[in-house]
Amino acid sequence: MAADARAFMVDLGFSNPFAPYELEFRQTDLTGALQKVGRALGLDEAMVDRLRAVQRQVGDSARPASWRSVALV
């Protein structure tokens, strides 16, 4: 059950349920919603914190690189 709950949270966290390009929302609202769902599934808040950290890392890596920065490397 715990593995299914974690898999569901990962899927939920990366599914863009709020249609980010059409609806404005605060990141804190998304975090709070994920924490509530996580608690209902019996997961601790640390799992949601790890999920949000990975989301930020993915967002950072998806940004286009500056050609100037690439040329300097």
- Higher-confidence residue: 55 or 73? 55
Indicate if the pLDDT at residue 72 is higher than 60: no
Average of per-residue pLDDT across 51-68: 72
Domain ranges of the chain: 1-8+26-56
- Residues 1-36 have pLDDT tens digits of 688 989 988 888 887 655 656 777 788 988 999 999
CA gap 73, 58 in Å, rounded: 22
Contact predicate 14/55, CB 8 Å: yes
Q: Return the DSSP state at 65.
A: P
List of residues 6+ apart from 57 with CB closer than 8 A = none
pLDDT band at residue 71 under the 50/70/90 scheme: low
List of residues 6+ apart from 58 with CB closer than 8 A = 14
CA gap 54, 49 in Å, rounded: 9
pTM of the model: 0.66
